[in-house]
Amino acid sequence: MKRRSGFTVVGRLTGLVRPLAGFMALAVIMGLVGHLCASFITILGGYAVLGLLGLDTVFRLEAIFACVLIFAVLRAVLRYAEQSCNHFIAFKLLALIRDKVFRALRRLAPAKLEGRDKGDLISVITSDIELLEVFYAHTISPVAIAFLYTVILCLFIGSFHPLLGILALFAYLAVGVAIPLVTSGFSGKAGLQFRTGSGELSGFVLDSLRGLSETLQYGQGEKRLVQMGEKTAALSEIESRMKRTAGRNMAATNTLILGSGLAMLFLAAALYQEGAIDFAGALIPTVALFSSFGPAVALANLGSALQNTFAAGNRVLDILEETPAVREAAGEGEIVFEGASAENVRFSYGEETILGRVSLQIPEGKTVGIIGKSGSGKSTLLKLFMRFWDADEGEIKVSGRDIRRIDTSNLRDMESFMTQETHLFHDSIRNNLRIAKLDASEKEIEEACQKAAIHDFIMGLPRGYDTPVGELGDTLSGGERQRIGLARAFLHDAPFLLLDEPTSNLDSLNEAVILKSLCEGQNGKTVVLVSHRPSTMRIADIVYCCEKQTIQPCLHGYLATAARAEDALGTWEVESLSQTGGMS
């Protein structure tokens, strides 16, 4: 996490208020007038006492009581209006921030999100952003209100005697500035530790729920429960420490308010004895100070709460300010797919080299197979063609142009990519398929599913294409999820089809059906087929072997492999594949 000072976090978060600056100014004005009404109810009470004693003839008692009534009603109305305005600003901004965070995650995906704790990301998107409500609804306007209010009250009290105004200023600064800063110092990194720990606990719980079957199967439930208890206890200890700090903060605030009021009383009494002020000059400033700590107390109470809020703001800003590994290209002009190639490509994950000086040609309309052991870099090469990452050296080209100079939207339209793990959303099968083409007709959806050999299965379900797949597709088998992923690739109908282990979860018969569909439905499309299965390579026009960070043409021995698979797959499948353009 990037470390930022509190002032930096405040500045960055405050900058997001700009679209709603008018509402914020309105909230400040209403809050200021409301606090002044509350204070002057007490101050007018002081003047009423003076009137009863016959020491003040400026304000009539009737006028004072009428003003008190008016100020009381105004205080209630303005308080409600200020809070409503602040919360409107807060929740509107939270919606805008969530939108910004989701846009940032889209820019960062997939390279910068690879391996990130999903539970921690969920914690940032939900609870961390929600905590910023404290900042926007209860921090920005209270700070502005406290500043303006302090200036007005110090001038009012100082009008009786400059020393009284100076004492009031020091009292307000001590309560509203010194205590929050000291409390913040005592809190240290507790807020950041709490937010980080909360994110880790969310990730642990999410991981536990996803792996519940394995946990029960291997009898690890008790161990997992103990670990969850330990994490919860550690989080509770940090929270308790923060609450103890908040309690000490409150005690110090109340003590300082009482001490300041007494100091004002003693100073006013001393000045009265010296004849520097009259009785009204002693009573009214003392009453005014005692009744005017509301805005300062609001700031004092923020001292401990803001540690948590600033930590949450830091985590949100980390995402918003993160630089994507790959920046989307635009304004390059649309091109048509005419083949692809990799030229002297080198790529590493950190210090680990995955591909070293790799070159291959992918002719238009051909099926290119890439075979190799797990971890040899096959999937990484497909991701480079998708431009999920940029190559460290060399060039990835589509239609003879470096993909870094192709509009990202144009590139995505030309390519269909099926990954090893098909992610299904908690929605119907139809809507999960339509991700590949939002305006797809029923006929197009069914044709894509028929090519992926999943249509008959779907029609056999009680609700057909409207059947929900459950969270993460847990109501379907691995092979069924994989075929839906393949149907998505067919539905996207791009000229360049990138398939990463499309038959890894299928039996031999279903593999043959899928491969047959690929051959028959190719229709001039260019296909890159990645697999660790030699049998999958039977439909490829060109085969490359991926091993030891390199890729080389690898044709020898594959006909023999296909022949040995004939008994398992059936003679007609092998013959059909040979007739439709398989290897020869």
- Which pLDDT score, from 0 to 100, does residue 37 have? 92
Residue indicated by tokens 């530790």: 193
Angle between helix axes 221-273 and 190-210 (nearest 10 degrees) is 160
366: left (phi over 0), alpha (psi -120 to 50) or beta: beta
Environment class of residue 42 by beta-carbon count within 10 Å: exposed (0-12), middle (13-18) or buried (19+)? middle
Environment class of residue 275 by beta-carbon count within 10 Å: exposed (0-12), middle (13-18) or buried (19+)? exposed
- Which pLDDT score, from 0 to 100, does residue 432 have? 92
> In what helix (H) or strand (E) does residue 526 lie, and over which residues does it extend?
strand 526-531
Largest CA distance in the chain: 118
Pairing of strands 393-398, 340-349: antiparallel
Give the residue among 189, 354, 161 at the shortest CA–CA distance from 271.
161
Q: Model's pTM, two decimal places?
A: 0.67
Question: CB-based contacts of 128: which residues, under 8 Å, 6+ apart?
Answer: 195, 199, 312, 313, 315, 316
The span from the CA of 112 to the CA of 9, in Å, is 23
- Which pLDDT score, from 0 to 100, does residue 96 have? 86
What tokens appear for 372 in the block? 């190799």
DSSP 178: I
Q: Is there a contact between 399 and 496 (Cβ–Cβ < 8 Å)?
A: no
Residue 368: C-alpha distances to residues 390, 482, 499, 566 (Å): 22, 20, 10, 22
Question: pLDDT averaged over consecutive 10-residue blocks of the chain (584 residues)?
Answer: 66 79 89 92 88 74 89 92 87 86 85 74 80 78 89 93 93 85 68 74 80 80 87 86 79 88 92 90 90 84 68 82 85 90 89 86 92 84 91 93 92 89 88 92 92 90 89 77 88 92 77 78 85 84 84 60 44 40 38
Pairing of strands 550-553, 542-547: antiparallel
Q: Is 70 helix (H, G, I), strand (E, B) or coil?
A: helix
Domains of the chain: 16-321 (1.20.1560.10), 340-579 (3.40.50.300)
